[in-house]
């Protein structure tokens, strides 16, 4: 849900080396007449896995989140409805990985096959919010929100077949490339203020979705089923050849862009493509099928290795953080797969950037057995655009969850009362035990006893500075330095 999943990315350089070596060795058997067929099936199978992972994963998520027909308070609920999450996750709740402590979510899936859906945006003053529109390929093709200075009003999301459909006066048209749209609405809330959370709950109720046929009826609400289905289905990702079959079905339902044709031409050689189901393709060599099946089994590890490789390649450039553009990918299928696996539903950089640290600046895993400082020089805070831009850095354990601590502090952000040094700089103290110095304790971000990771969130960054942030030539998240 647009959250980096540190648990999926892993923690150590040693693990990266072992994993990479393992992947390189897969399928390397003594030469035989059938080796080329197996290897080709494996190579193209991995290409197909990377290419298709976003489409198959979003479909799995769609089935999972819309399998009930009444909102459950966790973002699940019927299609063409925004299903709110009204409270922040607490440490005892282990159901959400890398929970966000900055914004409250509402999640919705639009089905535009029958008619457009109209999103109402109320007046929201001096508060970050975004209603992002995501395609089945995880492309963030449009946004309504504070960064884009979206005025209050009504916005019709129309499918490709209704691009020229007449709309009521004063309704703004947004053409979706597909009939299925994923929304992960975010509204800033002060997680330390019950009053502010209540105000955001009101905003969540005021951002609505109404079918065109019911517009502009006031206070329209979708019918409530007499016998609600509250059983959540979780189909999981298909395995083996079923993965390619599912991909073929989805490629036919959501035709890929023209730029993907060279990739599709390659994949057609192993029976993968729109409407194709290679599990029933008798023309495929058994060794090719064996390689393709192995590729799906190894796919998650291969994408994980890709992520590790990106992190290691740019470790120095980004001051020890994993930083990557998100939300638009073009033909960079490798990056798109990585983001799908570790941060599904991530926004465009102008909305948010997510620097993630798994290691300290010396390349060692972060652990509560050590103490660290993060020195932010004067003027070195994240360059966000007032009044709605903001930043935070959140502490997670090695599995991606927040951990109880004696001061109930799980993040430091631009609202935290921090001590500043005489020169205007700020030192954050990251360690398991409370610093004895009261001024250091004021800037303490408690760490768990074991391994951990740190995730910065920069919402509404200064647009002029985003290229430098993503290129490693501008603002960088400050280094996590071990003490002693």
For 238, counting Cβ atoms within 10 Å of its Cβ (0-12 exposed, 13-18 middle, 19+ buried), the class is middle
How far out from the chain centre does Cα 451 lie? 22
117 DSSP 8-state letter = E
How many CB atoms lie under 10 A from the CB of residue 451?
18
What are the tens digits of pLDDT across the range 274-316?
999 999 999 999 999 999 999 999 999 999 999 999 999 999 9
What pLDDT, on a 0 to 100 scale, did the predictor assign at position 413? 95
Mean pLDDT calculated for residue range 428-451? 98
- Report the DSSP beta bridge partners of residue 187: 104, 129
Query: Which helix (H) or strand (E) covers residue 34, if one does?
Result: none
For 423, counting Cβ atoms within 10 Å of its Cβ (0-12 exposed, 13-18 middle, 19+ buried), the class is exposed
Q: Is the pLDDT of residue 399 over 80?
A: yes
458 closest CA partner among 383, 371, 359: 383
Distance CA 244, CA 369 (A): 45
Contact 357, 366 (CB under 8 A): yes
Domains of the chain: 9-61+237-313 (1.10.3360), 70-214 (2.60.40.1610), 347-482 (2.60.120.600)
Mean pLDDT calculated for residue range 189-197? 94
Mean pLDDT calculated for residue range 198-205? 98
Mean pLDDT calculated for residue range 466-481? 98
Contact 357, 453 (CB under 8 A): yes
Q: What is the DSSP string of 317-360?
A: TTTT-B----S--TT-HHHHHHHHHHHTTPPPTTTEE--EESB-
The mean predicted confidence, pLDDT, of the chain is 92
SS3 label, residue 474:
coil
Q: Is the peptide bond before 122 cis (omega within 30 degrees of 0)?
A: no
116 DSSP 8-state letter = -
* Stretch among 191-195, 201-205, 291-295, 319-323 having the lowest mean pLDDT: 191-195
What are the tens digits of pLDDT across the range 217-271?
877 888 888 889 999 999 999 999 999 999 999 999 999 999 999 999 999 999 9
305 closest CA partner among 118, 109, 26: 26
What pLDDT, on a 0 to 100 scale, did the predictor assign at position 6? 60
What pLDDT, on a 0 to 100 scale, did the predictor assign at position 270? 97
How many CB atoms lie under 10 A from the CB of residue 81?
22
Matching residue, tokens 């309704």: 171
Q: Is the pLDDT of residue 208 over 90?
A: yes
């Amino acid at each position: 849900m647009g959250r980096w999943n540190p648990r999926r990315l892993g923690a150590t350089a040693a693990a990266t080396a072992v994993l990479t070596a393992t992947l390189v060795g897969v399928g390397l058997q003594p030469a035989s007449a059938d080796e080329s067929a197996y290897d080709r099936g494996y190579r193209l199978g991995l290409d197909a896995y990377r290419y298709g992972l976003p489409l198959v994963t979003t479909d799995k998520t769609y089935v999972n989140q819309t399998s009930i027909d009444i909102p459950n308070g966790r973002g699940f609920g019927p299609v063409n409805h925004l299903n709110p999450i009204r409270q922040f996750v607490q440490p005892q709740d282990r159901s959400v990985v890398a929970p966000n402590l900055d914004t409250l979510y509402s999640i919705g899936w639009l089905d535009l096959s029958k008619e457009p859906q109209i999103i109402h945006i109320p007046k929201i003053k001096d508060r970050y919010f975004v209603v992002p529109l995501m395609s089945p390929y995880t492309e963030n093709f449009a946004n309504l929100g504070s960064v884009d200075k979206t005025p209050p009003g009504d916005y019709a999301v129309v499918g490709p077949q209704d691009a020229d459909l007449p709309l009521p006066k004063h309704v703004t048209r947004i053409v979706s490339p597909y009939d299925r749209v994923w929304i992960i609405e975010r509204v800033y809330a002060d997680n330390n203020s019950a009053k502010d959370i209540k105000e955001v709950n009101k905003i969540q109720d005021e951002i609505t979705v109404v079918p065109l046929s019911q517009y502009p009826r006031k206070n329209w609400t979708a019918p409530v089923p007499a016998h609600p289905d509250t059983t959540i289905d979780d189909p999981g990702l298909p395995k083996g050849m079923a993965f390619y079959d599912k991909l073929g079905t989805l490629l036919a339902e959501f035709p890929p862009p023209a730029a993907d044709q060279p990739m599709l031409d390659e994949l057609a050689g192993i029976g993968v493509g729109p409407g194709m189901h290679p599990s029933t393709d008798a023309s495929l060599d058994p060794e090719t099928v064996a390689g393709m099946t192995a590729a799906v089994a190894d796919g998650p590890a291969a994408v994980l290795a890709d992520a590790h490789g990106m992190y290691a390649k740019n470790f120095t450039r980004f001051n020890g953080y994993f930083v990557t553009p998100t939300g638009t990918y073009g033909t960079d299928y490798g990056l798109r797969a990585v983001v799908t696996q570790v941060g599904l539903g991530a926004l465009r950089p102008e909305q948010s950037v997510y620097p993630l640290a798994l290691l300290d600046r010396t390349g060692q895993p972060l652990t509560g057995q050590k103490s660290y400082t993060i020195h932010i020089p004067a003027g070195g805070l994240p360059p966000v655009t007032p009044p709605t831009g903001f930043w935070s850095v959140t502490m997670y354990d090695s599995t991606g969850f927040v951990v109880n601590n004696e001061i109930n502090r799980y993040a430091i952000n631009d609202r935290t009362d921090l001590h500043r040094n005489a020169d205007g700089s700020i030192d954050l103290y990251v360690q398991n035990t409370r610093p004895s110095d009261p001024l250091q304790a004021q800037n303490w971000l408690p760490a768990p006893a074991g391994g951990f990771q740190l995730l910065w969130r920069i919402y509404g960054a200064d647009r002029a500075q985003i290229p430098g942030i993503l290129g490693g030539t501008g603002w960088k998240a400050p280094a996590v330095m071990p003490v002693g």
